C-alpha cells in the first residue's frame, strides 16, 4: 500500500516539514531540494515526484527554510542563496533517512532545482557514502564551488536548450564533476521547462538515472 504523509523532519538545530510519498516496496528514496522562490508544493517538483513514484522510488519534498526564514527571504531574497545553510540541512535529512525511519534503509538520491541543485551537490560531497545519485534540473551547480570536485555520486545535469546562461554554467560544472556525470540538454526548453513535453522529459530522465544508480 502506498503511503502519503506530511511529517516533521529533524535538520540540525531546526525542525522542517516534509511531504513523503512512500511506494509499497521502495527501491530507493529521492530527497528534493527546490530552488529560489519555490516550495515543496511546487507543481514542477510534485510532477517529477509522481513519475519517480511510478518507478518505485520514495520521495521527500521539504522546505529547507523555516517559516520565519521564508518570511525574511521573501523580503531580502538572500537566504535562498545561503548554500551552506541549505546543504547542511540536506545533509542532516540524509542522516535521518539513513536511519530508515520513514521508509526503511534504502539507497538515497538527491534531486535539486535552481539554487537547490548547488545545495544538493554540496550535500552529496559531504555525505559521499550515503548519497548514491544526484539529478539537477535547471540547476546552478556553479554555486557549489569547490565541493564539485569532491562529489562522488553519479550526477545528471538537465538543462533547457533555451536557457543559455545556465547551460554555460552547467557545461563548466560538468568539467569539474567526476567521470560519472552527464549533461543532457532538453531541446526547445527554457529555465522552468514549461514548454509542452519538456517537464515530462526531465521526469523520465531523472527516473531512469535514479533507478539505474539506486535500484
For residue 43, give the C-alpha cell: 507543481
The share of the chain scoring above pLDDT 90, in percent, equals 74
Q: What is the DSSP letter of 99?
A: T
Can you give the pLDDT at residue 120? 97
Which residues does 214 contact at the CB level (< 8 Å), separation at least 6?
27, 28, 30, 57, 106, 107, 108, 109, 132, 133
Strand partners, 20: 5, 60
| Helical pair 115-126 and 83-98, crossing angle rounded to 10 deg | 50
Nearest residue to 118 via CA among 95, 142, 146: 142
Average pLDDT over residues 14-22: 92
Q: What whole-number distance in Å separates Cα of residue 79 and Cα of residue 129?
A: 28
pLDDT reading at 26 higher than 80 = yes
pLDDT in tens, 60-91: 999 898 888 888 888 888 888 899 999 999 99
pLDDT reading at 36 higher than 90 = no
Can you give the pLDDT at residue 1? 38
Confidence grade of residue 2 (pLDDT, cut at 50, 70, 90): low
pLDDT in tens, 182-192: 999 999 999 98
**CATH class for the region spanning 3-214:** alpha beta
pLDDT reading at 133 higher than 80 = yes
C-alpha count within 13 angstroms, C-beta hemisphere, residue 49: 27
Average pLDDT over residues 164-190: 95
Amino acid at each position: 500500500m502506498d503511503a502519503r504523509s506530511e511529517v516533521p523532519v529533524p535538520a540540525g538545530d531546526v525542525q522542517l516539514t516534509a511531504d513523503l510519498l512512500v511506494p509499497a516496496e521502495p527501491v530507493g528514496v529521492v530527497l528534493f531540494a527546490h530552488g529560489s522562490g519555490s516550495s515543496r508544493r511546487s507543481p514542477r517538483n510534485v510532477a517529477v515526484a509522481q513519475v519517480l513514484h511510478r518507478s518505485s522510488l520514495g520521495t521527500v519534498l521539504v522546505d529547507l527554510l523555516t517559516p520565519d526564514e521564508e518570511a525574511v527571504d521573501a523580503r531580502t531574497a538572500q537566504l535562498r542563496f545561503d548554500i551552506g545553510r541549505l546543504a547542511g540541512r540536506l545533509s542532516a535529512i540524509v542522516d535521518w533517512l539513513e536511519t530508515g525511519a520513514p521508509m526503511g534503509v534504502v539507497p538515497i538520491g538527491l534531486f535539486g532545482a535552481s539554487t537547490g541543485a548547488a545545495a544538493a551537490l554540496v550535500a552529496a560531497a559531504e555525505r559521499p557514502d550515503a548519497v548514491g545519485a544526484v539529478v539537477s534540473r535547471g540547476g546552478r551547480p556553479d554555486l557549489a564551488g569547490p565541493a564539485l570536485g569532491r562529489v562522488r555520486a553519479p550526477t545528471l545535469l538537465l538543462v533547457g536548450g533555451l536557457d543559455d546562461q545556465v547551460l554555460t554554467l552547467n557545461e563548466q560544472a560538468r568539467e569539474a564533476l567526476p567521470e560519472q556525470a552527464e549533461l543532457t540538454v532538453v531541446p526547445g526548453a527554457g529555465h522552468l521547462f514549461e514548454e509542452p513535453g519538456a517537464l515530462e522529459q526531465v521526469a523520465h530522465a531523472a527516473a531512469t538515472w535514479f533507478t539505474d544508480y539506486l535500484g
